[in-house]
Amino acid sequence: MESKFDPKLVEEKIYKSWEDKGCFTAKVDKNKEPFSIILPPPNANGSLHLGHAMFTYEDIMIRYNKLKGKETLWLLGLDHAGIETQFVFEKHLKKQGKSRFDYSRDELYQMIWDYVNENKKNIKGQLKRLGFALDWTREKFTIDPKVVKIVYNTFKKLYDAGLVYRANKLINYCVSCGTSYSDLEVVYKERIDPLYYMKYGPFTLATVRPETKFGDTAVAVHPKDKRYKSWIGKEITVDGLIGPFKVKVVADEAVDPKFGTGAVKVTPAHDFNDYEIAKRHDLPMKQVIGYDGKLNEHAGIYQGLRVFSARERVVADLKEKGMLVKVDEKYTHRVGSCYRCGRVLEPLPKEQWFIKVKPLAADAKKLIQKKETIVYPARFKKRLVDILDNFIDWNVSRQVVWGIRIPAYKCQTKNEWFISTTKPELCKVCGDCKFTQDSDTFDTWFSSAQWPFATLMTEGEELYNYFYPTSVMETGHDILRAWVARMMMVGKFVTDKPPFKMVFLHGMVRDAKGQKMSKSKGNVIDPIIMIDKYGADALRTALIFGTTEGGDVALSEDKVKGMRNFANKIWNMGRFLWMNLETGKKSEDGASYTTVAKALLKEFKAEKKKYLKLMEKNRFSQALGLMYEFLWHRVADQYIEQLKDGIINGNIEALEALKETYLESLVLLHPFMPYVTEATWKVFKGEESSIMDQKL
């Protein structure tokens, strides 16, 4: 054995040996209990970050259950990531002085496809660097033809069940990215903006957005507000800067009498609260901001101005005409922004495809109540139930090229839509017109909501029936709402089974001070750099050691170094044992060594029992901590010191006790530290042997 453990010398070689032997390749074995995890697919547009390194939890589960004698499948997948990938690629184009508008739909799609396929190689290489026991023979991509076919069938099934509808509703729209988003993708930021008090017919009212007054269709007051009771139901005339217009005064309990003057303008086409008021009072919608972010022809002289420029000019004109009463410069409110580019989103009316989620959410909730899906840690159960209780209808239409195009077609004769999972030869409405396909693509979350069953279905009925429902969905608690809840809703609807038996949630990786990692703060840790410096085992255990399941991880380079030292300690213990394997005569003080040897075996037996109980309860950090304390502070610091002379002098009892304890401890540590345990195992058992073939 080398004097020190050098991960660079063994990791690539060991991983290749696992692959060559088919250690990760799953098969259907009716004599074994199945255990399956579907990898949360990393986006195919970039590199892995520390969040992806948290998949270590999944690798621990796979390796542990394999050692328990189960047939394991950890299915690899990558996500096309719709708008995120297109956004990244557009930044790439911008550096070349180009934009998405310079290419046709097909050209842009092909360019992104080539970019992603090249990048996928990088991601897969990084997953291997982490030592992940993924089944590489069953790699999936969210836009594989077989997966797309299943996505189409799901959409059709939802449509036939009356759970998909098309409607012209107010949506969140990013005029920079050029697409709509669902409510789950909106990032709300607290901002301080001016609150403008302006004359409005016989009233004075306050608004943050005076530029939208050209789209006003009412004034709303609270029904119990005595100041305005006599005005309710009446029509007032307002000076609109581009000519007078009339609006009705309506009473609605959504109005806060303490906001501004208690009277608010209602702009249904550009405000979600106003949109709801308009529905209750049957008010018309008048769109004055286009999808390019500019005011349209309804704004008269302000047409063509972008929102903030229009606001400045409208405020200046109100002031000039004596219609601006006052300005509160420090009004604090929350503003919806694009999660990709950070720009303020515009609420705009647009015809889109929506999914009715209430029935789906109710069925998903029953999976939790009936314990068909267990949430771990249990403290996240209530949060998931609250999410399901508060879902609103899901906008699945996106105005991007990169993605799965929606299989919806419009009859040009009757102006009606129909759904077809294959491209139809004839219009299914009138039978002979030139129908057109919807240009929109699906929200990426819609295809990824089908990931557990869609991936397995593409592998055939036998494998699907054997491994589905999957055993665990392990992911970050930050995407409970965006992904986990949706997988449960769609999975139960399509398969009538829970998509997974357990949801295991990990926390976010933060720096040593508990701060979120970001490039601007300069506290980002690159997982591949850590592996290059200290080895995969060191990084993996640094993420798990001392981390409460579901809790955030405080990670520093020093912690990774500390775990590197633990890997070295394991190696050095093995080296000491290996160097003394040739036994001679018993030492003179054999009786005392026998007593210590028996104590060592007894303590290890007790520790193993605790370890197995912790692992079965998913308390992985405690199990790792247990082995760390036992090997370093009990075996190395105490037992080896007491047995050292006996082992050196060839005491058989001492040597065999240490060897048995050490090798069995390697098996217990293997799920956490696969490389150093495999490398050391081969020293004792031979190059052809693998620790992955052992049974607990």
The one-letter amino acid code at 207 reads T
The one-letter amino acid code at 645 reads D
Q: Is 306 helix (H, G, I), strand (E, B) or coil?
A: strand
Bridge partners of 36? 73
Beta pairing, strands 397-398 & 346-355? unpaired
Q: Pick from 435, 417, 443: which is nearest to 181 by CA?
A: 443
pLDDT, average across residues 629-640 = 96
State both tokens at 425. 């030869």
- Give the pLDDT of residue 515: 85
pLDDT in tens, 327-364: 999 999 999 999 889 999 999 999 999 999 999 999 99
pLDDT in tens, 567-617: 999 999 999 999 988 654 454 456 778 899 999 999 999 999 999 999 999
Q: Pick from 614, 629, 621: which is nearest to 665 by CA?
A: 629
In this structure, whether the domain defined by 180-347 belongs to CATH 3.40.630.30 is answered with no
State both tokens at 669. 């540590």
Top-level class of domain 549-693: mainly alpha
One fold for both 180-347 and 549-693? no
Instruction: Please count the CA atoms within 13 angstroms of the CA of 362 that sit on its side-chain side.
Output: 3
pLDDT, average across residues 397-415 = 96
Distance in angstroms (rounded) separating the CA atoms of residues 242 and 226: 32
What is the average pLDDT value for the chain, to the nearest integer?
A: 95
Q: Pick from 233, 379, 211: which is nearest to 309 by CA?
A: 211
- Give the pLDDT of residue 433: 84
Instruction: Please count the CA atoms within 13 angstroms of the CA of 24 that sit on its side-chain side.
Output: 22
How many CB atoms sit inside 10 A of residue 327's CB? 15
Distance in angstroms (rounded) separating the CA atoms of residues 689 and 383: 46
Contact indicator for 537, 7 with CB cutoff of 8 Å: yes
Which of 118-127, 263-272, 512-521 shows the lowest mean pLDDT across its residues?
Answer: 512-521
- Give the pLDDT of residue 584: 47
pLDDT in tens, 662-679: 999 999 999 999 999 999
- Give the pLDDT of residue 646: 87
pTM higher than 0.95 = no
Q: Where are the domains of the chain?
A: 180-347, 406-439, 549-693
List C-alpha distances in Å: 681 to 356, 420, 650, 690: 55, 56, 22, 7
Whether 683 has a pLDDT exceeding 90, the answer reads yes
Q: Which of the pair, 122 or 38, is modelled with greater confidence? A: 38
Contact indicator for 687, 626 with CB cutoff of 8 Å: no
The DSSP secondary-structure symbol of 680 reads H
pLDDT in tens, 427-458: 999 998 889 999 999 999 999 999 999 999 99
pLDDT in tens, 133-166: 999 999 999 999 999 999 999 999 999 999 999 9
Q: Which helix (H) or strand (E) holds 481?
A: none
- Give the pLDDT of residue 332: 96
Contact indicator for 583, 650 with CB cutoff of 8 Å: yes
Distance in angstroms (rounded) separating the CA atoms of residues 654 and 680: 20
The DSSP secondary-structure symbol of 431 reads S
Question: What pLDDT band is residue 520 in, cutting at 50, 70 and 90?
Answer: low
List C-alpha distances in Å: 631 to 285, 584, 600, 607, 658: 71, 26, 11, 10, 11
pLDDT in tens, 464-500: 999 999 999 999 999 999 999 999 999 999 999 999 9
Contact indicator for 444, 81 with CB cutoff of 8 Å: yes
How many CB atoms sit inside 10 A of residue 85's CB? 24
Distance in angstroms (rounded) separating the CA atoms of residues 100 and 88: 12
Which of 160-174, 225-239, 395-409, 590-604 shows the lowest mean pLDDT across its residues?
Answer: 590-604
**Burial group, residue 172, by CB count within 10 angstroms (0-12, 13-18, 19+):** buried
- Give the pLDDT of residue 147: 98
Question: What pLDDT band is residue 386 in, cutting at 50, 70 and 90?
Answer: very high
pLDDT in tens, 80-117: 999 999 999 999 999 999 999 999 999 999 999 999 99
Distance in angstroms (rounded) separating the CA atoms of residues 393 and 110: 32
| CA 202 and chain centroid, separation | 51
* First-residue to last-residue Cα distance in the chain: 26
Q: Tell which phi-psi region holds residue 377, choosing left (phi > 0), alpha (psi between -120 and 50) or beta.
A: beta
Sign of the CA dihedral with 474 first, then 476, 480, and 482 last: negative
pLDDT, average across residues 654-660 = 93
